Structure 1
Amino acid sequence: MSDAHKKEAPSSVRCKIITVSDTRTKETDKSGQLMCHFLEQNNHQVAAHQIVKDVQNEIKLAIEDGITQSNIDAILINGGTGIAKRDVTIEVVENLLDKPMPGFGEIFRVLSYQEDIGSAAILSRATAGVIQDKAVFATPGSSGAVKLAMEKLIIPELGHVMREINKDL
């Protein structure tokens, strides 16, 4: 990122976290808590945190709720990204995207392969993009996957992504 981009990028982004899980509660949502921790440690704000079941309509409504809120700039989703029949987060997000960022999922899988899970990375689905001028990131729900995505991709680029989304508004 150029120095000009760094100067123009917001230093704080207001985020909504959505955890997709049929079993997690606020107390047991380690991945959602990890996302909160990374955001807050890096001067970003958690404006909302919601847990929804791995059901298409619930995921869609949670995303749409975040999109309509003026105090939210970005939505970070964890969970429901596997290849099992019940995992539908990626399908919901990709159907809503105005502009996909395919590099996010591609690089996430390469990093997963290199640092963490080896060839099982082919099972890992992650996606990102823009919906109505809001950044959206969807990661697997394991705390290792969330840590990797937050440390290596989301936190380093969140301000830059928001700068790019908002520069022509």
Structure 2
Amino acid sequence: MNCKIITVSDSRTADTDYSGQLMKELLLKNGHIVTAYELVTDEKTDIVQAFHSGCIDPKIDAILLNGGTGLAKRDVTIESIQPLLHKEMVGFGEIFRMLSYTEDIGSAAILSRAIAGVYNDTAVYCTPGSVGAVKLAMEKLIIPELGHVISEIRKNL
């Protein structure tokens, strides 16, 4: 699958974007292609612009965003992306929080607002920006199902 990675952060640079780098590494390791990467600030307009540039590219099958999913006032990834989704995969967020609770962070999992869904023919994933959260989401949920998700999205086209 051809993927675009978007890191949402006010403080990271391309050199310090360890979560975006991990996403790229895991995608490549599992036979996927990273066709685009962007690092944007926690601003709705920047997030939506980066998202739409990926959605209009017919070569991109999935957009993976990391960062900006918390409860702080500057965390606006969910507010930027969720209203744009045509379908939401609610199970992604539910299972991500369950795995976070049992395998990693305990009750702090309730702070996660990770979501996934579909925009037109593009799979969309929004994960927290920590390396641990990205690793968990990628290894347990995104990588194992990415091909299946894209296949379902494109069924009957």
Q: TM-score range by the shorter chain?
A: over 0.9
Residue in structure 1 matching 2:140, options 152, 157, 163: 152
Superposition pairs of residues 81-96 of structure 1, within 5 angstroms: 81-96=69-84
1:91 and 1:106 mapped to 2: Cα distance?
A: 18
Q: Which residue is equivalent to 1:9?
A: none
Q: Report how far residue 166 of structure 1 moved.
A: 0.6
Provide Cα deviations, 1:123-165, integer angstroms capped at 9, x if missing partner: 0110000001100000000000000000000000000000000
Stretches (4+) displaced over 2 A: none
2:65 and 2:20 mapped to 1: Cα distance?
A: 8
Q: For residue 46 of structure 1, what is the amino acid of its counterpart?
A: V
Aligned residues: 157
Structure 2 SS opposite 1:168: coil
Q: Which residue is equivalent to 1:58?
A: 46
Superposition pairs of residues 98-109 of structure 1, within 5 angstroms: 98-109=86-97
Structure 2 SS opposite 1:105: helix
Task: Determine if the alignment matches structure 1 residue 115 to structure 2 residue 119.
Answer: no
TM-score when normalising by structure 1 = 0.92
Residue in structure 1 matching 2:26, options 23, 35, 38: 38
Residue in structure 1 matching 2:37, options 17, 39, 49: 49
Superposition pairs of residues 6-25 of structure 1, within 5 angstroms: 13-25=1-13
Q: Which residue is equivalent to 1:97?
A: 85
TM-score when normalising by structure 2 = 0.99
Indicate the structure (1 or 2) with the bigger Cα radius of gyration.
Answer: 1
Structure 2 SS opposite 1:64: helix
Percent identity of the aligned residues? 66
